[in-house]
Structure 1
Amino acid sequence: MSSLTVRELSKETWGDFESVLGANGGARGCWCMHWRLSIKEWTEGKGEGNKKAMKRLAGREPVPGLVVYDQDAPVAWCSLGPRSSFPRLERSPLLSGVDDDEEVCAIACVYVEKKHRGSGLLPGILEAVCDWASSAGYTTAEGYPVEPREGKRAGADTAMTGIASAFLDAGFSEVARPRDDRPVMRRKV
Structure 2
Amino acid sequence: MPVTVRPASVFADIATMVGPKNPDSNVCWCLSYRIPNKLNRDLRRQERGAYVKQLCESGIPLGVLAYDGDNVVGWAAVAPRADTAFASNRKIPHVDDLDVWSVWCIRVRPGHRKQGISHSLLAGAVDFARENGAPAIEGYPVDNRGEKVDLTMAYVGTRKLFEDAGFEWAADTTSVLNRFPRVLMRRDLM
Fold-level similarity (TM above 0.5): yes
Identity rate of aligned residues, in percent? 29
Cα deviation, residue 94, structure 1: 1.1
Cα deviation, residue 24, structure 1: 5.1
1:7 corresponds in structure 2 to 6
Which of 171, 181, 187 is the matching residue for 1:176? Answer: 171
* TM-score, length basis structure 1: 0.82
**Matched ranges for 1:106-125 at <5 A:** 106-125=102-121
Cα deviation, 1:12-58, whole Å, max 9, x if unaligned, reads x2211111225259x96111110123444323324312211111111
- 1:139 aligns to 2:135 (yes or no): yes
Q: Quick check: 1:147–1:182 contact (8 Å CA) kept in 2?
A: yes
* TM-score, length basis structure 2: 0.81
Cα deviation, 1:138-173, whole Å, max 9, x if unaligned, reads 2311111122365442332x3222222111111111
Q: Unmatched 5+ residue regions in structure 1? A: none
Q: Quick check: 1:4–1:69 contact (8 Å CA) kept in 2?
A: yes
Q: Quick check: 2:93–2:173 contact (8 Å CA) kept in 1?
A: no
Q: Which runs of 4+ in 1 moved over 4 A?
A: none
Distance of aligned partners of 1:24 and 1:45 in 2 relative to their CA distance in 1, 3 Å threshold:
farther
Cα deviation, residue 185, structure 1: 0.8
Q: Quick check: 2:79–2:102 contact (8 Å CA) kept in 1?
A: yes
- Secondary structure at 1:19 match in 2: helix
Q: What is the Cα-based RMSD across aligned positions, in Å?
A: 2.6
Once residues 81 and 19 of structure 2 are traced to their aligned partners in structure 1, the CA distance between those partners, rounded to angstroms, is: 26
Aligned length: 182
1:50 corresponds in structure 2 to 48
Cα deviation, 1:86-112, whole Å, max 9, x if unaligned, reads 0x2222111132211x12121122222
Q: Unmatched 5+ residue regions in structure 2? A: 175-179
- Secondary structure at 1:127 match in 2: helix
Once residues 148 and 59 of structure 1 are traced to their aligned partners in structure 2, the CA distance between those partners, rounded to angstroms, is: 37
